[in-house]
Structure 1
Amino acid sequence: MSTELPYGPRRRAGGNVPAPDAPVMSLDWEHEGPLTVVSVRGEVDMSNAHLLVDLVAELAHRSAPRVVLDLSGVRFIDLHAVRALLEADRLLREAAGDLALRRPPRCVSRLLHLTATAHLFRVDEGPVPGDAPWAGPAASGDHGPPRRASGALSAPHSRMDAGRPPLPSGREVPA
């Protein structure tokens, strides 16, 4: 009988038990005014895309939930992740809610364009770099910085890869 555990090659200091590898994907969420921002980091693939759908399903139980998926920390996605994004969008629309993608990296926007699904998602570019941190009174009951009324969720889809070179084939993907 082997004493090796399938956690990876690293070992904990001072022992023979292997340490687990870093998680492939992490999900964190916080409330920003009326929005719930879910930060997705790592790789979203067939082994974990269902976790994103499960989280959004829980968030969809709120009245008119508005969810922003911050994808800026995503390094890789596959078609299972695209399916998860579509399912998350469907769940929120059924609950009279809204979904937007925040700062999708090139790997995300490229796959969404290749699968002809980019036009289905709204893009939220997120806070403008250089914005001053909010330092309002904590006792006033206001629990966050004031949000712009201009609607961060209404940015056009074509901004997903504005200024990026065309795909290697030289063909432009229709928006």
Structure 2
Amino acid sequence: MSTELPYDRARRADGDVPAPEAPVMSLDWEHEGPLTVVSVHGEVDMSNAHLLVDLVAELAGRPAPRVVVDLSEVRFVDLHAVRALVEADRLLREAAGGLALRRPPRCVSRLLHLTATAHLFGMDEDPVPGDAPWARSAATGDHVPPRRATGALSAPQSRMDAGRPPLPSARQVSA
């Protein structure tokens, strides 16, 4: 039997192995009927935002994927997180699906408003499972923000979308 420790963790002087550090971000997902709920925990930044996009890209392979990203346990976000959410939304729309944000904390809402991207996402403060903005009836009187701006702001939202035709309307990872 080898006495080598995985991941180059060294033994302390007293012989104990230090506990691994908690991940900066973790993603959990589960299916709630036709929806997939992705729960994000921790900090979403340059080092890990791509993991959210990678997960959503996998989920976009399902027919008409509907994804709700629960952000209630997020402590910090930066512009990489915003870009990841915009990219995830684009991937799902290309697959004839949709993305909604569930319980975004103030740090997320503030950054989405500062970057003028909040209007791209349906946001629920405390939704019932399966209740996403695209599933609401007009009879409820709930206002869902438009997915794309109109007028002068309808130009491509990023360099990634430049040159592309407009889109039609409509387990666990740790870092």
Superposition TM-score, scaled by structure 1 size: 0.67
Whole-Å separation in 2 of the counterparts to 1:27 and 1:57: 14
Aligned residues: 135
1:25 counterpart letter in structure 2: M
Alignment match, 2:17: 17
**Inter-CA distance 56–19: structure 2 relative to 1 (3 Å threshold):** same
Whole-Å separation in 1 of the counterparts to 2:76 and 2:136: 25
Instruction: Give structure 1 stretches of 5+ with no counterpart.
Output: 129-144, 158-175
Alignment match, 1:104: 104
Alignment match, 1:90: 90
Contact 1:64–1:95 (Cα < 8 Å) also in 2: yes
Whole-Å separation in 2 of the counterparts to 1:84 and 1:49: 6
Alignment match, 2:41: 41
Whole-Å separation in 1 of the counterparts to 2:17 and 2:24: 21
**Inter-CA distance 17–39: structure 2 relative to 1 (3 Å threshold):** same
Cα shift at 1:152? 5.5
2:98 counterpart letter in structure 1: D
2:144 counterpart letter in structure 1: P
1:156 equivalent in alignment to 2:133: no
Moved over 6 A (4+): none
Larger RCO (alpha carbons 8 Å, 6+ apart): 2
Q: Percent identity?
A: 79
**Inter-CA distance 63–84: structure 2 relative to 1 (3 Å threshold):** same
Whole-Å separation in 1 of the counterparts to 2:41 and 2:94: 26
**Inter-CA distance 101–155: structure 2 relative to 1 (3 Å threshold):** farther
Q: Secondary structure at the match of 2:18?
A: coil
Instruction: Give structure 2 stretches of 5+ with no counterpart.
Output: 146-175
**Inter-CA distance 51–115: structure 2 relative to 1 (3 Å threshold):** same
Contact 1:123–1:155 (Cα < 8 Å) also in 2: no
**Inter-CA distance 149–67: structure 2 relative to 1 (3 Å threshold):** closer
Alignment match, 1:53: 53
**Inter-CA distance 82–6: structure 2 relative to 1 (3 Å threshold):** farther
Provide the alpha-carbon RMSD of the alignment: 3.1
> Could you list the per-position Cα deviations for residues 8-42 of structure 1 after superposition, in whole angstroms to 9, with x for gaps in the alignment?
xxx88x73433211011110011111100000010
